[in-house]
Chain A
Amino acid sequence: MARSPFSPSFWRSPLRGPWLTSVLGVVLLGGITVLFVTGLVSYAAYNPDLSPVNDKTPDKGVLGFYLFSWPTDPHWLYRLNQGVHVTLGITLIPVLLAKLWSVVPRLFTLPPARSLAHALERLSLLLLVGGALFEFVTGVLNVQLDYIFPGSFYTLHFYGAWVFIAAFVAHAVLKTPMALRNLRQLREEQNDLIAPNPAEPTVSRRGALWFVGGGSLLLFGTTVGQNFDGPLRRTALLAPHGGAEPGSGPGGFQINKTAAYAGIRDADTSEEAWRLVVVGANGHTVRLTRADLLAMPHHSAALPIACVEGWSTSDQWWRGVRLRDLAALVGHDEDPPDVLVESLQQRGAFRRAALRANQVADPRSLLALAVNGEDLTPDHGYPARIIVPAAPGVLNTKWVARLTFGDL
């Protein structure tokens, strides 16, 4: 047996070959396309072009070319999009690992480059493989709150995705026709991936594919439940928001950041201390106690909490004051404008967040004071929180202290 990986006879697995690589490649072509599109959609959901407080990537330039006003319908839009993005990403990990395994002998090709085109293609593969792993690793770490990557998750994952997709599209254009040919032909072409001196097989290629699919199914089955309540959530055995709900009763549903973690003190949220400051475009300012808010007309909305980390709750029954009624209170009787929402929270990436006029105008957009028939719990944003249909979780600001209406 050859000792050097640069020798073709070093690689002995009888599984490697164009058929296996092509099957895995076609699965990734579909899967990664969905990941990229749902990622772009998730980015747009933050309305980064609305206000600097929503924008973690102000240098995006043309990469934000497709941005649009994020809608409020259907109200489960972000929940579905982000559930697909994260769950599919985790499900594809075995496929990615298998695909990389199937082509690893090519890393040791000699001569390193046969032509300029080949040299450029190999350089592009560094961006492809490095980019894919970078995106999967930052995503998987972020959903587990393990912030060891060097910088803001939003910046790294967003720009990393564009570097990766540039290499991915080139790779797909160069390789997809060949992959489809490999799959259509029953007989396998001779190819550098086929071991010249294969070891005795321990499993068939179909068996190997079942194995990869089994890995995906296992990850899917222990993750997807974190998008549902009750018994289904308990099936998500290893997902961060799987298992039992945190607590019971009306407030016993998933929490992104607790009051204690966000540094919210009871002294700041008490009836005596807390005031909601509402400012209009003309400088018109009102200060409201919680009792003032309770005296205003109340409305209900059944809306979920859906997090960028790929977990969500089913619809909760929120009750509170419409944002457009609060806008009217400070002079915006017709066509409510955008609003800047500020939390009592002293630190945290989204302690200030902006909502667009279409979100403010939606009759289901509330400054909620109660959920599921009871006052909000401290962890769900007592004394008052924002809840907007289809908005990402972090834009549903908790412990609201100030609303500034006006075009942003």
Chain B
Amino acid sequence: METTILTINNVWMMVCTFLVFFMHMGFAFLESGLTRQKNTINILFKNFFVITTGLLIYCIGGFNLMYPGFEDGDMGILKFAGFGITAPEGGMDFGYADGGYTWWTDFLFQGMFAATAATIVSGAVAERIKLSSFMLFAILYVGLVYPIVGSWKWGGGFLDGLGFYDFAGSTLVHSVGGWAALIGVYMLGARIGKFDDKGKARALPGHNLPLGAAGVLILWLGWFGFNGGSVLSADPTLTSLTLVTTCLAAAAGGVSAAFFASLLYKNYDITMFMNGVLGGLVGITAGADLMSPTDSILIGLFAGILVVLGISFIEKLKLDDPVGAIAVHLICGIWGTLAVGCFGDLASFDQFVTQLAGVGIIGAFCVISSFILLFIVKAITGLRVSEEEEKKGLDLSEHSMEAYADFRLNQL
């Protein structure tokens, strides 16, 4: 019986692993679609780099830094369980995780998660960061910052001890990526032509919105695994509830962003619809297993409005985020984490304060470490490509390649 339960749970967890892997395709599509044609190869290269290197780094040390085996009640901050991955004794048995999954599945599922944090950064800094700088930063961020923050909660560290709750990573994954995106965008400066002489934001339209739209729908599909797998077993009640709240929040986020933006800007903007769906998904992620359908719809509706306001607020600050990663992942990530204190099973003033503390502590750590890492990277390789390279496009200047070499558009 135990073997059967473990097998069933483990299959579900592997399906979720596939889905989280698939999110990398969603990110690659979304980021290339919302940027200009001349930087497509560069975006794709970064996305490939993040999923491949991210997985390797997680194998070399990330997993053992994130799940170092803190003792109950020792309020752990930093511990490292050694390099490499070796299944522990009993790692394939029912006893390892109450029959939820095997140790190998655990590693791969978490490994797929790890790379997403750096992928969030890749979209925000697109079209002007030097490839070498990005690669260096991504290695350091996925290798050190993400696992250390993760260990504080999911690894059983001090935030877990304090009662901080983040079910699937509104803060641990999305805000961690979002903070780095914010600092990266700030240190890089805007793309040439993004702001005019008077500092007014200009539009630099993405070159392939069908691709971007496919990316968003793929990300939504991936979220079935991202949240569904975070149940850490195929528990029938929790997994099905989690998928319901996840989808309702995505739907509500999309609808509210699309219609709020249409009221505000007097046009129906598909990119706001897309970002709204993602905002809803990020928002529900912290409490997907705690919310009622009504709660999740409210979280999504609010997330959609935050996305629209966030995108325009970030531009008012003269920050240039081509894909809206900061609004979607940072702002909605914070919102989702705080929402655990406002809605659902854990809602209470104390929980809200704990959530706020978690957001603040992790935010401070991510901001400071992003600054330090980017300063180091800047000193080694420099951050930004030259003006000429940027105007020419990173595909030609960094890769000597064109994304659509033979393609001509028959415009109507």
- Do A and B assemble together? no
Using CB atoms and an 8 Å cutoff, list the residues of chain A in contact with chain B: none
